[in-house]
């Protein structure tokens, strides 16, 4: 009965889905576990243990949309031929200690069947499911997590810098093994957001290092054997390179190159990424999830990715019915009409995906610019307000985004609990008159061409870096912004560049301003606040010196009092323990961020979409996802082919 | 003759060196390095970028060393051990990645060359013999039309037409079921069904030049007295044409191998990306974008070697067919 109680717990915690589930629900006992027919022969031949022995004592029970599915089939999808290994990761690798529920509202048990946070938000205890197994049948226990912690994470050769998910205030976590199935993560200072961080894709680190396989490549365990292994691997110069070529942090290519690496994923690799014209994976017979009728998941036997070099060909092949599923690279407005028209010939349907950041296009002025004159003007909130009123957002959205968007500042989406109407709406009206009035107070003098002069008497010019990224048409948007700014006497010079060059400029704090998209539209507004305050993270650098100071008070520059207040408000979010407290603290923080009005948003994003075959069932419509909340891996195990529908 | 060949080969060596140096420098010219790309990649995946990790990797890959030292390490590896270095992006030795693709590139180039010659020579002859006729104008118009259309556009249109109207699977050189199986008759047929489209697309672009050269050469010959003499002696027009003026007119065409090989290979890069062919083109493009410098440098070097070999072959063929060149 323990199992049944557990199951009800899972059901209750999944909100809406539970209603669908309760109807056909029947308890499944160990003897009733069923497996995919393609595994029957291997079990009969004695090559595989029986399904009940492959599953953990209490398997994870997946909730369904359309109900219990059927086994079989190959999911045909696609991938860019080079540099797209994250596509594999996002499609089949998302097994974590804890996970987000499909609605991205709550952190739920996953590999850990139970987890507990201490009242001061410093200590987290995870109890693993008993009997979990790697894809080669070896047990997954607390020792594997300790191997990651002691021999990978704390090993300075393998991890010269510590992953920020597992550090707080510069201090790395302390992990202790309580027993074979229990581990404790302890931080020196409160870290209330740890469970949320751990539930995102990049929180996988503790569970991707199988000790029994990897210790042969580790100096500590196999000092004598390593020279011989190095000889056999000409690409590796030392044991660190060798180790990194077998498993890699952040799913770099070696991860998708090594067929031997045991995993906890639903499918295991059979054709690696770099070798052929396709990538292929087949079902993991030891996968640890079942459906409500006791069928071991996943339903689909194989996944294949056709490697293509051009998204145009992806779209063409989708419309000619060569794929069952496609998502990345062709789900933007460029391809939408073609893919919409091709639904009949391609036998697929278009399903909404709520990939909703806080802004599709945000203007980021460098508040800590090295130029003292520009810095003073950029730091002036009134100047930012004036520039914001000068922009005709609706016109940009109509012309560049063919109406797909809404005029808004950088803010959480209206459907989300953290939505702040003032933050989203303030200063978005197109009002050049008002803009001119404000600017007349800041920079009253103009030159012969009507451009405003700064305090040194020179024309005030913003050199705007523009990279054409994400298919979001930034060069087109900036052409329009340049014109709007000119109408109120601000000179914007557009400097077209690429992402790599921008990266070096950010690091050196050389840019005046640039345009980018902003994360934090849904629940990532809790953990990823890089657009809401100076915060050290990739891609967003509007006040890099202050962000450095926030990360480490010995670096960067001390920000003014209002920014310090904002940072202190976020510290309170991080110290909150209960969900309610965290939500209220975050609301206060976002409200304060709105007061500071640090960057200028242009357009609020609209949902994206994916293509799925008409034969596929159990596909959730309108699933929320984000850059670090992967898709479709968290729900793909429940997809199945229903051949009866045509 | 042997001295001539030896001389040409000796000249090829400094050219190759120069190419390798220029290629290596150009790859390093853009700001940043492979790790900058890697950081951008991580960032766009919601990953954390830790400066310490990046610095350690830069040290490991030797990216912080001066460029001449990196070049020396690379070229010394090639010359002494045939080791082209490591591809950072794939974490594999470059040699494991490129030979298969280079084979397909070469095969595609040779097939394209054969296709272009098989089409261009008869059309060139026809246009010269029937100068200013409707067939001359039509052939010339079509040749220039295909010259003017960018090859990526032609590739996209051809793929769309084949897929939408004829229901053929396009892109790549094999159907999904033949990708990972070893060679068989079925796979060969499948290959033939796929390969003709890129061959035609790449070939049509270089058709115009060859047609025009053939036509001009032949026109020069047709008005010469020996043609009139042969005609006066009552030789049949067709035999006359093929036996004398066409043979002479082909001579300059042979020298075009030298420049048509690099043209085909560079045209192949764009078409291969668009049509997703398993050739060196897409690999080169990605390695350049990612600044995966040993992979990019090795590919450029090997493609240059092919070009130089092409030039060498055309020099030798010319020397064989034209004694005047041998004597110089």
pLDDT at position A29 is 53
Chain B residues lying within 8 Å of A170, measured CB to CB: none
Query: Taking 90 as the threshold, does the pLDDT of residue A610 lie above it?
Result: yes
Instruction: Identify from A100, A159, A172, A309 which residue to disrupt to test chain B contact, counting B C-beta atoms within 10 A and taking the largest count.
Output: A309
Shared domain for B88 and B115, answered yes or no, is no
Query: Taking 90 as the threshold, does the pLDDT of residue A437 lie above it?
Result: yes
Task: Search chain B and give the residue with CA nearest A314.
Answer: B171
Whether A160 and B53 lie within 8 Å, measured CB to CB: yes
Strands ordered across the beta sheet of A608-613: A325-326, A608-613, A348-355, A623-625
Shared domain for B224 and B113, answered yes or no, is yes
Q: Which helix (H) or strand (E) holds B92?
A: strand B92-93
Whether A538 and B86 lie within 8 Å, measured CB to CB: no
Any CB–CB contact under 8 A between A248 and chain B?
Answer: yes
Any CB–CB contact under 8 A between A322 and chain B?
Answer: yes
Any CB–CB contact under 8 A between A258 and chain B?
Answer: no
Whether B40 and A82 lie within 8 Å, measured CB to CB: no
**E strand spans, A403-488:** 406-407, 461-467
Query: Taking 90 as the threshold, does the pLDDT of residue A418 lie above it?
Result: yes
Contact A215, A222 (CB under 8 A): yes
Give the domain-ending residue among B94, B116, B132. Answer: B94
For residue B15, the distance in angstroms to the closest alpha carbon of chain A comes to: 29
Chain B residues lying within 8 Å of A500, measured CB to CB: 30-32, 36-37, 40, 291
Shared domain for B31 and B9, answered yes or no, is yes
Mean pLDDT for the stretch of residues A474-491: 95
For residue B283, the distance in angstroms to the closest alpha carbon of chain A comes to: 7
Shared domain for B305 and B227, answered yes or no, is yes
Domain that residue B229 falls in? 100-327
With 0-12 / 13-18 / 19 or more C-beta atoms within 10 angstroms meaning exposed / middle / buried, residue A551 is middle
Two tokens at A338? 């073609």
Is the pLDDT higher at A633 or at B311?
A633
A:B CB pairs within 8 Å: 168
Shared domain for B110 and B15, answered yes or no, is no
Give the domain-ending residue among B94, B129, B150. Answer: B94
Any CB–CB contact under 8 A between A341 and chain B?
Answer: no
Shared domain for B69 and B111, answered yes or no, is no
Contact A141, A207 (CB under 8 A): no
Instruction: List the CATH number of the domain containing B120.
Output: 1.10.3720.10
In chain A, residues 147-166 whose CB comes closer than 8 Å to chain B = 159-165
Beta-carbon neighbour count of residue B59 at 10 Å? Answer: 12
Q: Using CA atoms, how far apart are residues A42 and A49, in angstroms rounded to an integer?
A: 9
Whether B37 and A310 lie within 8 Å, measured CB to CB: no
Unique residue bearing structure tokens 């599923």: A325
Query: Taking 50 as the threshold, does the pLDDT of residue A7 lie above it?
Result: no
With 0-12 / 13-18 / 19 or more C-beta atoms within 10 angstroms meaning exposed / middle / buried, residue A459 is middle
In chain A, residues 201-230 whose CB comes closer than 8 Å to chain B = 201-202
Chain A residues lying within 8 Å of B53, measured CB to CB: 159-161, 249
The number of distinct structural domains making up chain B is 2
Contact B92, A257 (CB under 8 A): yes
Chain A residues lying within 8 Å of B285, measured CB to CB: 82, 309
ipTM greater than 0.85: no
Task: Search chain B and give the residue with CA nearest A345.
Answer: B164
pLDDT at position B223 is 87
Shared domain for B106 and B83, answered yes or no, is no
pLDDT at position B271 is 87
Any CB–CB contact under 8 A between A7 and chain B?
Answer: no
Shared domain for B111 and B20, answered yes or no, is no
Whether B274 and A309 lie within 8 Å, measured CB to CB: yes
Instruction: Identify from B167, B171, B179, B275 which residue to disrupt to test chain A contact, counting A C-beta atoms within 10 A and taking the largest count.
Output: B171
For residue B97, the distance in angstroms to the closest alpha carbon of chain A comes to: 8
Two tokens at B172? 């790549």
Q: What is the CA radius of gyration of chain A?
A: 26
pLDDT at position A199 is 94
Whether B43 and A539 lie within 8 Å, measured CB to CB: yes
Query: Taking 70 as the threshold, does the pLDDT of residue A153 lie above it?
Result: yes
Q: Using CA atoms, how far apart are residues A64 and A547, in angstroms rounded to an integer?
A: 43
**CA end-to-end span of chain A:** 41
Contact B65, B293 (CB under 8 A): no
Contact B67, B24 (CB under 8 A): yes
Chain A residues lying within 8 Å of B52, measured CB to CB: 160-161
Q: Using CA atoms, how far apart are residues B256 and B219, in angstroms rounded to an integer?
A: 18
pLDDT at position A264 is 95
Shared domain for B173 and B266, answered yes or no, is yes
Within chain B, how many helices (H) and strands (E) appear?
15, 2
pLDDT digits (tens, 9 = 90+) for A9-62: 343 344 334 333 433 344 445 558 999 999 999 999 999 999 999 999 999 998
Select from A645, A618, A516 the least CA-distant residue to A298: A618
Select from B294, B295, B306, B296 the least CA-distant residue to B265: B306
For residue A454, the distance in angstroms to the closest alpha carbon of chain B comes to: 32
Eight-class DSSP state of B166? T
Shared domain for B33 and B161, answered yes or no, is no
Whether B274 and A202 lie within 8 Å, measured CB to CB: no
Mean pLDDT for the stretch of residues A287-308: 94
pLDDT at position A9 is 39
For residue B49, the distance in angstroms to the closest alpha carbon of chain A comes to: 7
Shared domain for B9 and B149, answered yes or no, is no
Q: What percent of chain A has pLDDT over 70?
A: 94
pLDDT at position A26 is 41
Whether B97 and A274 lie within 8 Å, measured CB to CB: yes
Mean pLDDT for the stretch of residues A176-196: 94
Select from A489, A485, A487 the least CA-distant residue to A447: A489
pLDDT at position A186 is 96
Whether A163 and B48 lie within 8 Å, measured CB to CB: yes
Chain B residues lying within 8 Å of A313, measured CB to CB: 159, 170-171, 274-276
In the predicted model, residues of chain B with pLDDT beneath 50 are: none
Query: Taking 70 as the threshold, does the pLDDT of residue A337 lie above it?
Result: yes
Identify which of B43, B156, B172 has the shortest CB distance to residue A538: B43
For residue B105, the distance in angstroms to the closest alpha carbon of chain A comes to: 15
Angle between helices A561-575 and A579-596 (to 10 degrees): 170
For residue A570, the distance in angstroms to the closest alpha carbon of chain B comes to: 19
Task: Search chain A and give the residue with CA nearest B33.
Answer: A500
pLDDT at position A529 is 92
Task: Search chain A and give the residue with CA nearest B286.
Answer: A82
Query: Taking 80 as the threshold, does the pLDDT of residue A156 lie above it?
Result: yes
A549's CB contacts (< 8 A; 6+ apart) are A534, A555, A556, A557, A558, A559
Two tokens at B72? 């020396």
pLDDT at position A569 is 96
- Category of B127 on φ-ψ map: left (φ > 0), alpha (ψ -120 to 50) or beta: alpha
In chain A, residues 490-529 whose CB comes closer than 8 Å to chain B = 498-501, 503-504, 519, 528
DSSP string for A249-287: GGG-GGGGT-TT----SSEEEEE-TTTSSEEEEEE-TT-
Identify which of B53, B159, B174 has the shortest CB distance to residue A277: B174
Select from A133, A164, A299 the least CA-distant residue to A639: A299
Identify which of A163, A254, A309 has the shortest CB distance to residue B273: A309
Low-confidence winner among A97-106, A204-213, B84-93 (lowest mean pLDDT): B84-93
Average pLDDT over all residues of chain A: 89
Q: Are strands A406-407 and A267-271 parallel, antiparallel or unpaired?
A: unpaired
Give the domain-ending residue among B68, B94, B120. Answer: B94
Angle between helices A311-319 and A333-341 (to 10 degrees): 20
Two tokens at B75? 């070229």
For residue B261, the distance in angstroms to the closest alpha carbon of chain A comes to: 23
Task: Search chain A and give the residue with CA nearest B278.
Answer: A277
Two tokens at B178? 């033949």
Eight-class DSSP state of A496? E
Eight-class DSSP state of B280? H
Shared domain for B77 and B106, answered yes or no, is no
Identify which of B31, B159, B171 has the shortest CB distance to residue A501: B31
């Amino acid at each position: 009965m323990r199992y049944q109680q557990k199951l009800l717990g899972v059901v209750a915690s999944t909100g809406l889905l539970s209603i669908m589930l309760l109807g056909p629900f029947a308890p499944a006992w160990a003897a009733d576990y069923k497996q995919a027919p393609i595994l029957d022969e291997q079990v009969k031949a004695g090559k595989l243990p029986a399904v009940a022995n492959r599953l953990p004592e209490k398997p994870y029970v997946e909730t369904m949309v359309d109900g219990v599915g059927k086994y079989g089939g190959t999911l045909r999808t696609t991938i860019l031929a080079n540099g797209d290994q994250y596509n594999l990761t996002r499609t089949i690798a998302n097994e974590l200690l804890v996970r987000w529920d499909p609605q991205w509202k709550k952190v739920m048990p996953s590999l850990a069947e139970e987890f507990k946070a201490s009242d001061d938000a410093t200590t987290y205890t995870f109890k693993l499911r008993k009997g979990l197994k790697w894809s080669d049948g070896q047990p997954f226990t607390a020792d594997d997590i300790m191997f990651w912690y002691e021999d990978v994470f704390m090993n300075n050769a393998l991890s010269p810098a510590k992953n920020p998910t597992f550090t707080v205030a510069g201090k790395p976590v302390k992990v202790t093994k309580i027993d074979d199935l229990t581990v404790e993560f302890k931080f020196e200072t409160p870290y209330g957001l740890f469970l949320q961080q751990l539930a995102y894709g990049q929180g996988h680190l503790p569970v991707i290092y199988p000790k029994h396989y990897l210790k042969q490549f580790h100096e500590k365990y196999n000092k004598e054997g390593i020279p011989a292994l190095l000889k056999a691997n000409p690409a590796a110069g030392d044991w660190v390179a060798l180790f990194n070529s077998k498993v890699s942090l952040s799913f770099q290519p070696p991860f998708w190159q090594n067929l031997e690496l045991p995993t906890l994923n639903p499918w295991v690799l059979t054709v690696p990424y770099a070798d052929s014209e396709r990538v292929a994976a087949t079902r993991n017979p030891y996968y640890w999830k079942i459906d409500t009728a006791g069928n071991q998941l996943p339903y689909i036997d194989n996944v294949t990715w056709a490697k293509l070099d051009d998204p145009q060909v992806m779209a063409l092949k989708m419309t000619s019915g060569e794929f069952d599923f496609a998502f990345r690279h062709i789900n933007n407005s460029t391809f939408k009409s073609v893919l919409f028209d091709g639904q009949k010939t391609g036998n697929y349907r278009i399903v909404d995906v709520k990939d909703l950041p806080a802004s599709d296009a945000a203007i980021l002025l460098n508040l800590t610019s090295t130029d003292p004159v520009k810095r003073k003007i950029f730091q002036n909130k009134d100047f930012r307000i004036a520039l914001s009123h000068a922009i005709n957002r609706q016109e940009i959205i109509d012309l560049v985004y063919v109406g797909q968007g809404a005029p808004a500042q950088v803010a959480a989406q209206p459907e989300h609990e953290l939505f702040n109407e003032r933050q989203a709406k303030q200063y978005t009206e197109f009002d050049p008159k008002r803009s001119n009035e404000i600017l007349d107070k800041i920079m009253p003098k103009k030159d012969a061409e009507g451009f405003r002069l700064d305090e040194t008497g020179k024309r005030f010019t913003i050199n705007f870096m523009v990279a054409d990224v994400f298919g979001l048409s930034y060069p087109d948007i900036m052409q329009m912004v340049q014109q709007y700014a000119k109408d109120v006497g601000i000179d914007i010079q557009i400097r077209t560049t690429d992402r790599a060059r921008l990266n070096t400029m950010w690091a050196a704090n050389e840019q005046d301003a640039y345009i980018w998209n902003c994360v934090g539209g849904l629940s990532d507004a809790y953990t990823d606040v890089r657009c809401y305050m100076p915060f050290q993270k990739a891609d967003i650098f509007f006040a890099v010196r202050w962000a450095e100071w926030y990360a480490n008070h010995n670096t960067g520059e001390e920000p003014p009092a209002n920014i310090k207040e904002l940072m202190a408000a976020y510290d309170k979010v991080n110290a909150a323990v209960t969900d309610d407290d965290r939500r209220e603290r975050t609301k206060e923080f976002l409200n304060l961020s709105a007061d500071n009005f640090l960057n200028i948003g242009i357009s609020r994003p609209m949902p994206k979409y994916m293509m799925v075959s008409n034969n596929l069932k159990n596909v959730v419509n309108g699933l929320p996802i984000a850059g670090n909340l992967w898709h479709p891996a968290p729900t793909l195990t429940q997809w199945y082919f229903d051949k009866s529908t045509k | 003759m042997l001295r001539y060949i030896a001389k040409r080969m000796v000249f090829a060596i400094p050219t190759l060196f120069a190419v390798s140096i220029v290629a290596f420098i150009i790859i390093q010219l853009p700001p940043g390095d492979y790790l900058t790309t890697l950081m951008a990649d991580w960032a766009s995946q919601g990953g954390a970028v830790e400066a310490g990790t990046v610095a350690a990797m830069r040290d490991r890959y030797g990216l912080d060393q001066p460029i001449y030292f990196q070049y020396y390490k690379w070229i010394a590896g090639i010359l002494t051990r045939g080791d082209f270095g490591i591809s950072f992006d794939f974490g594999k030795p470059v040699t494991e990645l490129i030979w298969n693709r280079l084979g397909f590139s070469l095969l595609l180039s040779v097939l394209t060359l054969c296709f272009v010659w098989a089409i261009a020579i008869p059309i060139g002859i026809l246009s010269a013999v029937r100068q200013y006729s409707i067939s001359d104008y039509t052939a010339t118009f079509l040749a220039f039309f295909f010259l003017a259309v960018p090859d990526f556009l032609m590739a996209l249109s051809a793929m769309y037409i084949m897929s939408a109207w004829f229901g053929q699977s396009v892109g790549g050189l094999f159907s999904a079921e033949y990708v990972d199986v070893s060679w068989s008759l079925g796979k060969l047929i499948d290959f033939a069904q796929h390969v003709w489209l890129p061959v035609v697309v790449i070939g049509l672009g270089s058709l115009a030049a060859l047609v025009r050269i053939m036509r001009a050469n032949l026109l020069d010959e047709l008005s010469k007295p020996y043609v009139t003499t042969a005609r006066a002696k009552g030789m049949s027009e067709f035999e006359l044409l093929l036996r004398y003026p066409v043979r002479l007119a082909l001579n300059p065409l042979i020298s075009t191998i030298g420049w048509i090989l690099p043209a085909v290979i560079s045209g192949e890069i764009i078409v291969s990306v668009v049509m997703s062919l398993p050739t060196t083109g897409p690999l080169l493009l990605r390695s350049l974008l990612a600044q995966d410098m040993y992979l990019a440098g090795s590919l450029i070097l090997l493609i240059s070697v092919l070009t130089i070999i092409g030039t060498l072959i055309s020099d030798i063929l010319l020397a064989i067919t034209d004694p005047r060149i041998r004597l110089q």
